[in-house]
Structure 1
Amino acid sequence: MHQRVISEMYRIIDVYFHVTDLNALLKTFVKDKISEGGSIWSDFTINCHHMLGGGSPDIYAAAAQTELIILSLDIMDDLQDQDNSDKPWMTCDRTYALNAIIAFLMASIGEISQNKATHMTEVLQLIARSINGQHRDLNHSVATENDYITMVQEKSSSLIHLSFCMGYLGLEECDPAILAHINEIAQYVGLAAQLNNDTRDITRIDQKNDILQKKKTLPILYLLKQSEDKFPPLHQYYNGLITREELIELKFEYQQYINESGCIEYAKTIQFLFANKAEELLESLPIDSPWKDKLKETVMAAVG
């Protein structure tokens, strides 16, 4: 993450939150985010801005706002899924973590409204769309592959769209056709990146495993189609006939079933198709700029 983005994140916290322990807690959460290494979100915002001909020194503040919005939603996701137990927002008082979500969102929106008030509707709509997708994930309403695609487009692709959007807000002469093209790229990037995560998570036997939470990701939907015959405990777990503990006791048989099922290969194939489509769309952008190459690098890193 760029040092100027980090400085802007801390500046925003200092501007909005004067209560000493709240200020310190929010900075602890930001430090944890930074410790993860590079972040695609601010890179998307900065690279998109420069690719479209922008040169505003305020782009680092916009990138910081992107990071804080995403961090707030990451915290919300962890609290809802009850995983990532080593994160500081999972080890502090739950009420403080909830306050931090509101703090990051409100401060970011406050900053955006000062400089790009006319674009607030688009930003808020994208955040709301992501929350709609998150709720689809939480209420287990995904039953088909089409349901999964819809959920991911709302939950994940909208946030890629948001990070691009934060890069072009305020640019005066952006071709609407190019912006539509960029936002189409966001849809495929979000799908490929989520599939990359879902394929990785299915092989884990811990709290990050989507099966333990009875989610229905694309690889899990593939597994469930054959589980009644080939691995009945999975079918039984999803239907409430055995407990989580009973399923975990079968972890070796479970891992063998996954390895032999073809679900990983299937999901990786779909992921490749989405990633390839995102790359093709990027290549076809009628823009000649080294920043397009930088954006492409960030996109390809995100989609695995």
Structure 2
Amino acid sequence: MGGIENIESNRIKETMLNLITTQLQNDGLKSFIFSFLTNKEEMNFANLTILHHQIFDRKDPELLNLAAAVELLVLSFDIFDDLEDLDNTEEPWMKIDHSIALNAATVLYTLSQQTVLSLSSPFKHQILASLLKYSIQAMEGQHDDLEDNIASEEDCLQMMKLKSGSLIALASVCGMQLAGENDKLVEEYAYQIGIAAQTDNDFRDLFNPLKNDMKNQKKSLAVLYLQRNYNEHANDLLKFYQSGLDIKEQFGSIENYKQKLLDSGVMQYLNVVKQIAINRASRMIDNLNINSEHKEFVKSILINKKT
């Protein structure tokens, strides 16, 4: 496609490793961070940065450095999140002393900012301002999630917009700004894609009943829906999550469990919320000031994979 170049994840990863190697002196710290990247194959946020630069028909030579900086920052947020939630115990940063993991995450967060500031682009300060803006929003969303004081669907959607949507907006807006562009629609549809992505996470969590969030009935769209007790199936599911049993112990099979989810209405509810967000994002992408071919390409990356 004209103007759009496929940049392999290996090139992004190599750039990330190079930034770590050249900017850090402590071999022990570098070794830990390298271990975090060993099994990392998907570079979703870096690719968002690249995509939103290229759709404006730009090819800045420092694009890979910016994309790597964004991916390093998001990795730091993943580590912070797991340490705070005590989840995803198989990740390499959860298998080491948590104080060391926390320090390494702080290094990654700082290194991402240093990388942006070292760009020669005339837009680097604008990019750094956006990186910090959306980082703070994501932290505010994480605070609301950790406090678990969410009382309504509106509160939950706002938390999802901040926690998940802000990071998608960060990657997308920074790529656009490196191209010298500034379209508010990019931020707005990124928020909607974030809500859709977080709704998918809520759905997946239903099939991981032993996860801390489910056992503790931490507020999510799914839990809020079930707590309304629309029917006996919803109440049965809430009791199940508190029981500590696995799916087969309680329901006999995954098929029986899926039927219980359907009977409760929670699966249908999450799908409706997701589709509303996707439809909103699609309409915004249609209004972007780029050629129609690039609009369809953005949709193929952000929307078609989620429908």
Structure 1-normalised TM-score? Answer: 0.87
What residue number does 2:175 align with? 167
What residue number does 1:252 align with? 251
What residue number does 1:156 align with? 164
What is the identity, as a one-letter code, of the residue corresponding to 1:190?
G
After superposition, residues 168-183 of structure 1 pair within 5 angstroms as: 168-172=176-180, 174=181, 176=182, 179-183=183-187
- Specify whether residues 290 and 46 from structure 1 end up closer, same or farther in structure 2 by C-alpha distance, changes over 3 A only: farther
**Structure 2 portions without partners, runs of 5+:** 1-7
Q: Distance between the aligned counterparts of 2:270 and 2:202, measured in 1?
A: 9
Of residues 98, 111, 127, the one that matches 2:102 is 98
- Specify whether residues 301 and 75 from structure 1 end up closer, same or farther in structure 2 by C-alpha distance, changes over 3 A only: farther
* 2:17 match: secondary structure: helix
* 1:211 match: secondary structure: helix
Of residues 15, 31, 34, the one that matches 2:38 is 31
Specify which structure has the bigger relative contact order, considering alpha-carbon pairs within 8 angstroms and separated by 6 or more residues. 1
Of residues 285, 288, 300, the one that matches 2:288 is 285
Question: CA deviation digits over 1:86-111, x for unaligned, max 9?
Answer: 11011111111101110110100111
Number of residue pairs matched by the alignment: 292
TM-superposed deviation, 1:228: 8.5
Q: Distance between the aligned counterparts of 2:26 and 2:159, measured in 1?
A: 38
Q: Distance between the aligned counterparts of 1:186 and 1:113, measured in 2?
A: 24
Q: Distance between the aligned counterparts of 2:296 and 2:234, measured in 1?
A: 45
TM-superposed deviation, 1:123: 1.3
Of residues 212, 217, 221, the one that matches 1:218 is 221
What residue number does 2:83 align with? 79
Retained in 2: the 8 A contact 1:113–1:120? yes
Q: Distance between the aligned counterparts of 2:292 and 2:35, measured in 1?
A: 37
TM-superposed deviation, 1:301: 5.5
* 1:210 match: secondary structure: helix
* 1:33 match: secondary structure: coil
1:20 aligns with 2:19: no
Retained in 2: the 8 A contact 1:203–1:258? no
- Specify whether residues 236 and 261 from structure 1 end up closer, same or farther in structure 2 by C-alpha distance, changes over 3 A only: closer
TM-superposed deviation, 1:162: 0.2
TM-superposed deviation, 1:45: 0.5
Retained in 1: the 8 A contact 2:50–2:175? yes
Of residues 184, 192, 201, the one that matches 1:188 is 192
TM-superposed deviation, 1:232: 4.6
* 2:38 match: secondary structure: helix
TM-superposed deviation, 1:184: 1.1
1:146 aligns with 2:154: yes
Question: CA deviation digits over 1:103-132, x for unaligned, max 9?
Answer: 110100111122213432221111011011
252-261 vs 42-51, greater mean Cα deviation: 252-261
What is the identity, as a one-letter code, of the residue corresponding to 1:300?
I
TM-superposed deviation, 1:246: 7.2
- Specify whether residues 251 and 53 from structure 1 end up closer, same or farther in structure 2 by C-alpha distance, changes over 3 A only: same
* 2:290 match: secondary structure: coil
TM-superposed deviation, 1:289: 6.2
What is the identity, as a one-letter code, of the residue corresponding to 1:138?
L
Q: Distance between the aligned counterparts of 1:250 and 1:225, measured in 2?
A: 25
TM-superposed deviation, 1:294: 3.2
Retained in 1: the 8 A contact 2:138–2:162? yes
**Structure 1 portions without partners, runs of 5+:** none
What residue number does 1:271 align with? 274
Q: Distance between the aligned counterparts of 2:271 and 2:78, measured in 1?
A: 24
* 2:72 match: secondary structure: helix
Of residues 134, 138, 151, the one that matches 1:130 is 138
Q: Distance between the aligned counterparts of 1:187 and 1:302, measured in 2?
A: 17
What is the identity, as a one-letter code, of the residue corresponding to 1:169?
Q
